[in-house]
Amino acid sequence: MKYSKQREMIQDTVMAHPIHPTADDVYSLVRAKNPTISLGTVYRNLNLLAENGILTKLTMPGGSDRFDGRLDEHYHMLCTHCGKVYDVELDIFRDFDRQIRAKTGFCVSRHQLLIEGICKECSKEK
């Protein structure tokens, strides 16, 4: 992968903002430093970085994809009230893949878990 200033900025932005930004969030953030960057470039590079395992693409129900710079095994909770995405570490998946393989012959490459509910802050509000 050939170096580009734009890609560096995009990657840095995702890393620096652990808010699981959408492509459009990244676009706004990067645009503050580089007003001529295009949305197409942001999409192209986010996908490129995801394909190369440098960041992760999260598929969201009913909304835009989000991107995550954390590479260690963890999962996500979406608050259906405020829309924030939280990280969660759980050791439930320790020998998950082995169990599945033994049971079904399915060879797991990755898994995405999305937990939906109401976060602590939002449930306080009521």
Partner DNA sequence: CTAGGTGCAAAGCGTTTGCTCGGGG
Partner DNA sequence: CCCCGAGCAAACGCTTTGCACCTAG
**Count of C-beta atoms within a 10 Å radius of residue 42:** 25
Would you say 107 is a known binding-site residue? no
5 is in the binding site of which of DNA, its own copies, none (Cβ under 5 to 8 A by kind)? Answer: DNA
Least distance to DNA from the beta carbon of 59, Å? Answer: 8
**Count of C-beta atoms within a 10 Å radius of residue 113:** 12
Listed residue (108, 95, 96, 17) closest to 55, CA to CA: 17
Rounded CA-CA distance 113/32 in Å is: 33
**Is 64 among the residues that bind DNA (CB under 7 A)?**
yes
Rounded CA-CA distance 117/111 in Å is: 20
**Tokens (6 digits) for 38:** 């295009």
Rounded CA-CA distance 77/114 in Å is: 6
Binding site for its own copies (CB under 8 A): 57, 59-62, 77, 79-80, 86, 88, 90, 92-93, 96, 99-100, 103-120, 123
Task: Select 6 or 47, whichever has its Cβ closest to its own copies.
Answer: 47
Least distance to DNA from the beta carbon of 87, Å? Answer: 20
Which residues make up the interface to DNA (CB under 7 A)?
1-7, 22-24, 34, 36-41, 43-45, 47-48, 62-65
Residues annotated within the binding site are 79, 82, 111, 119, 122
